[in-house]
Structures are given as structure tokens and as C-alpha cells.
Amino acid sequence: MKKFKMKIPEVVRAFLPYFMMLGPVKWQFVGVIVFGTINGALNGLGIPILLFKGLPKVFSDKPPAGYILAAVVIVFPLIALVRGMTAFFKDYLSALCGIRVLISIRLHLYRKVQSLPLGFFSGMRVGDLMSRLMADTSAVQTVVTNSTGDLINQPVQFVGAIVALIYISFQRREVVFILFALAIVPLCTFPIRYFGKKVKEKSRRLQAGAGRLSTVINENLGAAREVRAFNLQEMEEQKFVDRMKVIAKFNLKKTKYSKMLPQLIELVAAVSVAIGVWYAAKVQLKVDDMIPLLVALYMTYGPIKKLGTVHNAIRQGEASVERIEQIMATDDAVPETEHPVPFDPRHTMIEFDQVTFEYDPGVPVLRDVSIQIPSGTVAALVGPSGAGKSTFANLIPRFYDVTGGAIRIGGIDLRDFSKTDLRNHISIVSQDTFLFNDTIRNNIRLGRMDATDDEVEIAAEHAFAHEFIQTFDNGYDTLVGERGTRLSGGQKQRIAIARAFLRNAPILILDEATSALDSESEEKVQKALVELVKGRTVFIIAHRFSTIKLASRILVFEQGILRGAGTHSELYASDALYKSLYDRQFIE
């Protein structure tokens, strides 16, 4: 006998991982369901039945007894009070769950982004990532908490209203009224399905457009100096306007479909009530019989109208889930090993064994590179732009994984270390030093987060940064500004070198650390570098040959090939490329 398996609807499967995030607030979410159920039952069933039972007692041929009138008068505000309280607690708890879930969704996505290698970001716009982290996660949260609450509350109200209709109709022997009501309701489902598909399609394109707009804004604000230097304001404004027009176009279309649906359902409801009034007049129903029936009938359309809006929100959320899952489904091209080997800082000989690397398939950037760098060696990487120098260095901390061959440190393949352990033993000082909008002290402390204030200041002294830091009114507690705008290029470089001193890692990578400095700043940075490279295995990437004076070994690259390795005198005598590069700077 074939075992029956219930197929989970696609939409439920899409949102299921996000519903699991309700775990920490499960009891609050239970409260949303309970209060929503009570509120829906009171709206759909309670009010029509109250009218059906109460109106005849108050508006009969003879005046009602005082206690009956008092009871009816008290019950109406009491029902309103309970409805109001349940609606408030449902909405409040739903908002509480929504905030917690939104934080969880964003953290879930943000953590995934943090785990992805550098190669992922080369094919993804920052603005689009921001849009997915903010707008798309918010749309998913709306479905998980707000819409789910309505999916409990509104069906209860709908069913309650139908029960009230059936009960009142049978009591008054008006079966035709029941059939009429139940025949009209399905008419509302057709526009819900049609408009829902349209909303999902437009929402997907709207979110993509929002991502592109965020990219334009991010680029413009990050390049404020360049925009003004090249008088690009009008061009940037036009790019902004073009993106805004695209967003406006799809926003209007989404609004058209999402706002048209409730009005259509409202029209169907009004027509059905009008027909109900006509029928009641035709069969000469009494007013106290007609009002509860019409109220119950109308109460069935409120939930349908709301569920149409919920359906649109779900379709919009589906589009956002697809965009989020594109990132969540991205494989880590630099995966962790299941059984990492501890890094031994005493053995830092680095071996490249027939290493090949490609950013794009079929386009090698490094070709069959084999070299051994003994511990304590200061190796300079030279060659024309695009020769593969930076790629060679970026493979050491596993920012990328080799396409072919292997890299070993102390005889152990890089892929056998955990990425955290490996990078904890590598310091990097790059040309474009990034400083966070924090204090100088905390920017240096990034080298080692558990460092004391004294250790931070000692590192700054080694980097020849202590003196200029003391000139600021707040010293080490001075805010550096966004991307370090309050500091000069030389000062930022010395902060980066102070980080490296504080980290005290056995492997050091200097990626054109002095190329953008003036002669005075370069002299100070060079003094700091002389101290920094002592006792470490160092890789210096430089176009300016003044920096490679520190090197005991020089590696010459051309078109991804390691064409030579040796001392300055050896290479100057034997390698024509190296000789031409050197002479271009010191002879011409």
C-alpha cells in the first residue's frame, strides 16, 4: 500500500524557515492567535446574534422591562470593550513578535553575507544588498507576523458571520437568503487571485529597482569629492531621476493592483447588501429581522476584503523571499574544513605548489606558480599592473581558494586551517586603509580586540602615530569620521600599521602601503615598516621600488606567471622586465 504524503504548498514551504524564527516569542504569538480568534468571533458571530436576540426585546409592540433594556444597553458597550481590548492586544503582540522576527531575519541574512567570500561582492551591488537587508526582510516579516495574525482573525470572523447567517436564516425560515449569501462570496475570490499574481510580479521588479537606486545613492555619497571635481552633479541627478522613474512606474502599478482589489470587494459587498435589502422588502421581512441578516452578510465581506490585502502582502513577501533566498542559497566558495588543524605560528614557511587561479572560468590570473618563502623572509612582489601580485597575496589569507594546486603554511594546506585561525595569524596593511567612524583607539584595537589601552598606545608609538594622535583635543578618543575623513592619508596608514603591530601576527601583507603618500608621510611610514617587518614572514606589493629596500627576496610577475625570484642584484642582472621596471623609476 502506497504511503500517503501530504504535499506542503509552495508558499508555505517558502516562508517556513522564517516562521521557525517565532520560537523565542512563541507564547506571545499564541496570544496573537487567541486574541485574534476572540475578536473575530465577536465581530462575525457575536454582533449579529446580539442584534438578532436583542432588537426584538427592545423594539417589540410593548415597552421592554427595565432590566431587559438595562441588560441590552450594558451588553453593547461591554462587547465593544472586549472587541477593543482583544484588537489592541492582538496588534500589540503582533508588533512585538514582528520586531523580534525582523531582527532575526536581518541577522540571519547579515550573518550569511558576512560568511561569504570576497568573490561574492564583486558580482553584487552594495545598494542591492542593502535593499535586500532592509526592504525585503521587512516584507517577509509582515507576512510572518502581521499577515499570519489576520489569517487567524479574519477567517474566524468570516466563519462566525456565516454561522450567524445560517442560524438567523433558519430561525426565520429564509433559506433563500443563505443560498444568495453563499453564492455571492466566491465571486470575490477571482479578483484576489488575479491581482495577487500582478502584485507579486510588480513587487519583484520594484525591489530590484530599489536596489539599483540604493546603489546610485551609495556611489554618489561615497564619491562626493570626485562628483564635484569633475562637475558630475547634473549627470548624477539624471541617474537618480532615471532610477526614481523606474521605481515610480512599478510602484504605481503595484499600488493600482493592490488598492483596486479592496474597492472591488467593497463594491461586491455593497451590491449584495442592496440585493439583500430588495429581497427583504420583497418578502416583507420586519426591520428587526432584516438588520441582523444584513449585518451578518456584511460581516462576511470585511474578512474577504482584508484577506485580499493579506494575499497581496503574501505575494509581495514571496518576491522578497526569492531575493533573500538567492543570497542564502549562495554556496561559500571558500568553505570551512570539518576538522581544522591548529595554526602553529612558529612554522610560517609558505609554499605555492603549482598554483593556478581564475576569477572567471577559462581566464587564468595566476598560472602554475611554484615558490617557497622560508619563515622570516621579506618578499617583495613586483611587476606591471594586472600581473597577479595582489591575487597572489589575497590567496594567503584565503580570501579566495586556488583553482588548481595548493598553498601550504608550515607544510599544511591552507584549507586545513579554520579561516578564523588562519586570519588571526595574518596582518594586512593596504593602500586604501578603511577606518570605521569610531575613535582612534578603537580603530587601532581592531588588530586585537582584547588589547588594553596601554597596549594600544604602545602599538601607536611603534607606528610613529602617537605623536600626531596627541595633537587632537581628545587624543585617542578622537572620532576619525566616516572612512577616516578627519585624518590625512599618512595618518590613516600609520593607524593601519599600529593595528598590525597590535595584532603581532607572524605573517604580514603590505599591499602598496606607501604608494599614495607624499614624501614626508612616506618617510615616517617607512620607519614604522622597518620595525614592523622584523621577525615576520612578509609580502610587500609595491610599484614604488623605494619600498622593496626592506625585501630580502623579490618575486617578479608578468601576466600571471612568476618569471623570476632572487635578490635585487641577481634580478637586475638576469631579468629584463625587472631591470626595465627599476630603471624607469631611478634612471629616467
pLDDT tens readout for residues 301-323: 677 767 777 767 777 777 788 88
390, 481: one domain = yes
For residues 236 and 405, the model is more confident at: 405
Phi, psi of 15 (to 5 degrees): -95, -10
CB 463 within 8 A of CB 494: yes
Around Cβ 6, how many Cβ atoms within 10 Å?
Answer: 5
C-alpha to C-alpha distances, 523 to 512, 520, 582, 584, nearest whole angstrom:
14, 5, 20, 21
Position 50 in a domain:
yes
In angstroms, rounded to a whole number, what is the distance separating the alpha carbons of residues 145 and 138?
A: 11
Listed residues 262, 295, 328: the one ending a domain: 328
Around Cβ 315, how many Cβ atoms within 10 Å?
Answer: 24
Residue 402 — pLDDT band, cuts 50, 70, 90?
very high
Q: What 3-state class would DSSP assign to 413?
A: strand
314, 421: one domain = no
Q: Are strands 404-409 and 412-413 parallel, antiparallel or unpaired?
A: antiparallel
In angstroms, rounded to a whole number, what is the distance separating the alpha carbons of residues 196 and 258?
A: 8
Q: Which residues, including other chains, have CB under 8 Å from residue 538's CB and lie 6 or more apart?
A: 377, 378, 379, 507, 508, 509, 510, 550, 551
Q: Are strands 404-409 and 350-360 parallel, antiparallel or unpaired?
A: antiparallel
Position 221 in a domain:
no
Around Cβ 190, how many Cβ atoms within 10 Å?
Answer: 10
Burial of 67 (0-12, 13-18, 19+ CB in 10 A): exposed
311, 359: one domain = no
In angstroms, rounded to a whole number, what is the distance separating the alpha carbons of residues 504 and 489?
A: 23
pLDDT confidence of residue 109: 85
In angstroms, rounded to a whole number, what is the distance separating the alpha carbons of residues 148 and 302?
A: 17
Q: What is the pLDDT of residues 153-197, one digit of tens each?
A: 777 777 777 777 777 766 666 655 555 655 566 665 566 556 556
Kindly tell me if the per-residue pLDDT of 385 is higher than 80: yes
Residue type for position 525 = V
CB 196 within 8 A of CB 315: yes
Number of domains in the chain: 2
Q: Where are the beta strands (DSSP E) in 464-552?
A: 507-511, 537-541
284, 358: one domain = no
Residue 413 — pLDDT band, cuts 50, 70, 90?
very high
557, 438: one domain = yes
Q: Give the DSSP H or E segment for 203.
A: helix 189-222
557, 468: one domain = yes
In angstroms, rounded to a whole number, what is the distance separating the alpha carbons of residues 393 and 372?
A: 14
Residue 405 — pLDDT band, cuts 50, 70, 90?
very high
Cell of 345: 605560528
Question: Residue 141's domain is classified under what CATH number?
Answer: 1.20.1560.10
Rounded average pLDDT over 477-504: 84
In angstroms, rounded to a whole number, what is the distance separating the alpha carbons of residues 414 and 343?
A: 10
Q: What is the pLDDT of residues 23-49, one digit of tens each?
A: 888 898 888 888 888 888 877 777 777
Kindly tell me if the per-residue pLDDT of 329 is higher than 60: yes
Position 241 in a domain:
no
CB 524 within 8 A of CB 517: no
CB 458 within 8 A of CB 521: no
483, 428: one domain = yes
Q: Are strands 363-373 and 350-360 parallel, antiparallel or unpaired?
A: antiparallel
Of 150, 164, 152, 172, nearest to 297 by C-alpha is 164
